[in-house]
């Protein structure tokens, strides 16, 4: 039997042409037995089943391919999302690492929740971004105290003050730390660079006021007693030889006698903490005043009547005189009251000597006295 389409010889019982694939539908023109017909039907049924299975397998493959595409697409999407998320996390972390506010707030939260180590790490990150921030440095000090690092707390406060010289909180905290350590010299040193009137009040109980002299320095014509005053909680040390009163001072307990010559006094006050005040210096010169030249009541002249002479003697002084023209001294006639002039032509010489044995210049007066006859008669 030949294929009606291409003319190729067909195998017995063939359903499809091996050459062109045409399906053979015609009934074979030869007589077949029922047995052959039955076999043919079985083969055709098997072939159809095989074709149906092939189609099913092809459909299954298509479904699997579609499913795999979906799965691969989902995997790709998930992977892409994961990559995007990872990149976002990295970018976010990088951004947070470079954010002062984020690190500072994190440090505060850690600190409030008792996580001092975490707080320290976060505040260090914040200070790498803003190393001069006052609040961050104050927080660092508190965190260091939580970690029992007192020196670290002090360093943080000193840094805060160096960057923020008007930080009242930093000075307050630092003074408290120094007080707890008993380091009052550090408190004094800290106060040396303070110019703010409000902040300087924080040091009031630690710093004694400078002492004051009861008498202003200057020149004086008499010896005197010098008093030095300070507050009730301090004592005064002083020197008279120009040396440092902190190292060589004598404890002041009573007024100092300022004698003739020049005296330089250096003094400081010291409080209960052993802190010294600013030093004061006073220069006092005592130069006794020489008495003025004597003044008498009767001027030089010629007199015909008997006259008396009075000498004006300053307080604390004495007057001495002679009639023979010589210069008087403490061994000459002591003036005790008015006296008569002598008859004839005489020179009265007078000096004043003060209680420091200093003598005035000599004053001389020429009296010419010759009494009249009436005076003689009266005598």
- Please check the confidence at residue 167 and state whether its pLDDT lies above 90: yes
Contact indicator for 185, 253 with CB cutoff of 8 Å? no
Considering 162, 178, 203, which residue would you say is the last residue of a domain?
A: 203
pLDDT tens by residue, 332-369: 999 999 999 999 999 999 999 998 899 999 999 999 99
Q: How far apart are CA 249 and CA 240, in angstroms?
A: 9
Residue 141 burial class via C-beta count within 10 angstroms: exposed 0-12, middle 13-18, buried 19 and up: buried
Do you know the residue count of the chain? 379
Contact indicator for 362, 328 with CB cutoff of 8 Å? yes
Task: Give me the mean pLDDT over the 104-113 stretch.
Answer: 96
What is the pLDDT, as a whole number, of residue 204?
87
What is the pLDDT, as a whole number, of residue 26?
46
Query: Which residues make Cβ contacts (< 8 Å) with residue 327, sequence separation at least 6?
Result: 349, 351, 362
What is the pLDDT, as a whole number, of residue 85?
56
Q: How far apart are CA 67 and CA 106, in angstroms?
A: 48
Q: How far apart are CA 328 and CA 83, in angstroms?
A: 122
Residues 139, 217, single domain; the answer is no
Residue that is written with structure tokens 């010759």 in the block: 370
Residues 137, 86, single domain; the answer is no
What is the pLDDT, as a whole number, of residue 87?
46
What is the pLDDT, as a whole number, of residue 24?
65
Q: What are 293's two structure tokens?
A: 């030249």
Residues 92, 112, single domain; the answer is no
Q: How far apart are CA 217 and CA 327, in angstroms?
A: 38
Residues 240, 327, single domain; the answer is no
Q: What are 102's two structure tokens?
A: 């984020």
Confidence of residue 64 (pLDDT cuts 50, 70, 90): confident
Contact indicator for 160, 193 with CB cutoff of 8 Å? no
Residue that is written with structure tokens 């039955």 in the block: 38
pLDDT tens by residue, 267-323: 999 999 989 999 999 999 999 889 999 999 999 999 999 999 999 999 999 999 999
For the chain, the domain total comes to 5
Beta strands 308-309; 339-340: pairing state: antiparallel
**What proportion of the chain, given as a percentage, has pLDDT over 70?**
84
Strand partners, 225: 257
Residues 273, 199, single domain; the answer is no
Average pLDDT value over all residues in the chain: 87
- Which of 174, 274, 290 lies closest to 221 in space, CA to CA? 290
- Specify the CATH number for the domain of residue 247: 2.60.40
pLDDT tens by residue, 67-87: 766 666 676 666 665 655 554
Task: Give me the mean pLDDT over the 237-243 stretch.
Answer: 95
Residues 344, 372, single domain; the answer is yes
Contact indicator for 43, 13 with CB cutoff of 8 Å? yes
What is the pLDDT, as a whole number, of residue 304?
94
Task: Give me the mean pLDDT over the 123-152 stretch.
Answer: 96
CB count within 10 Å of CB 169 equals 15
What are phi and psi for residue 118, nearest 5 degrees? -65, -40
Query: Which residues make Cβ contacts (< 8 Å) with residue 2, sequence separation at least 6?
Result: 8, 9, 10
Which residues form the domain of 232?
212-286
Residues 85, 49, single domain; the answer is yes
As a whole number of angstroms, the longest Cα–Cα distance in the chain is 225
What is the pLDDT, as a whole number, of residue 147?
95
Query: Which residues make Cβ contacts (< 8 Å) with residue 303, sequence separation at least 6?
Result: 341, 367, 368, 369
Handedness of CA 82, 87, 88, 93 (dihedral sign): positive
Residues 51, 126, single domain; the answer is no
Residues 9, 90, single domain; the answer is no
Beta strands 301-303; 363-369: pairing state: parallel
What is the pLDDT, as a whole number, of residue 80?
65
Considering 203, 237, 261, which residue would you say is the last residue of a domain?
A: 203
Residues 239, 303, single domain; the answer is no
């Amino acid at each position: 039997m030949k294929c009606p389409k291409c003319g190729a010889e067909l195998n017995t019982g063939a359903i499809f042409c091996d050459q062109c694939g045409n399906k053979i539908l015609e009934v074979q023109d030869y007589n077949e037995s029922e047995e052959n017909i039955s076999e043919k039907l079985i083969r055709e049924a098997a072939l159809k089943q095989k074709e149906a299975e092939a189609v099913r397998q092809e459909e299954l493959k298509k479904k699997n391919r579609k499913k795999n595409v979906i799965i691969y697409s989902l995997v790709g999407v998930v992977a892409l999302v994961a990559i995007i998320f990872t990149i976002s996390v990295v970018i976010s972390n990088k951004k947070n690492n470079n954010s002062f506010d984020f690190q500072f707030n994190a440090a505060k939260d850690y600190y409030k929740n008792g996580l001092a180590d975490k707080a320290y790490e976060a505040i260090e990150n914040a200070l790498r971004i803003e190393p001069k921030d006052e609040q961050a440095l104050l927080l660092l000090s508190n965190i260091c105290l939580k970690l029992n690092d007192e020196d670290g707390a002090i360093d943080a406060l000193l840094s805060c003050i160096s960057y923020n010289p008007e930080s009242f909180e930093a000075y307050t905290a630092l003074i408290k730390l120094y007080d707890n350590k008993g380091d009052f010299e550090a408190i004094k040193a800290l106060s040396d660079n303070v110019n703010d009137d409000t902040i300087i009040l924080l040091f009031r109980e630690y710093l004694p006021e400078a002492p004051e002299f009861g008498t202003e320095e200057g020149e004086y014509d008499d010896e005197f007693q010098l008093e030095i005053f300070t507050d009730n909680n301090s004592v005064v040390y002083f020197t008279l030889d120009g040396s440092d009163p902190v190292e060589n001072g004598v404890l002041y307990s009573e007024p100092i006698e300022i004698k003739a010559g020049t005296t330089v006094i250096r003094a400081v006050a010291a409080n209960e903490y052993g802190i010294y005040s600013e030093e004061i210096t006073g220069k006092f010169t005592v130069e006794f005043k020489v008495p003025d030249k004597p003044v008498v009541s009767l001027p030089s002249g010629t007199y015909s009547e008997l006259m008396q002479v009075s000498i004006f003697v300053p307080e604390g002084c004495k007057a001495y005189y002679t009639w023979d023209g010589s210069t008087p001294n403490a061994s000459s006639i002591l003036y005790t009251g008015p006296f008569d002039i002598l008859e004839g032509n005489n020179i009265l010489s007078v000096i004043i000597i003060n209680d420091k044995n200093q003598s005035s210049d000599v004053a001389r007066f020429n009296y010419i006295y010759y009494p009249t006859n009436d005076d003689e008669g009266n005598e």
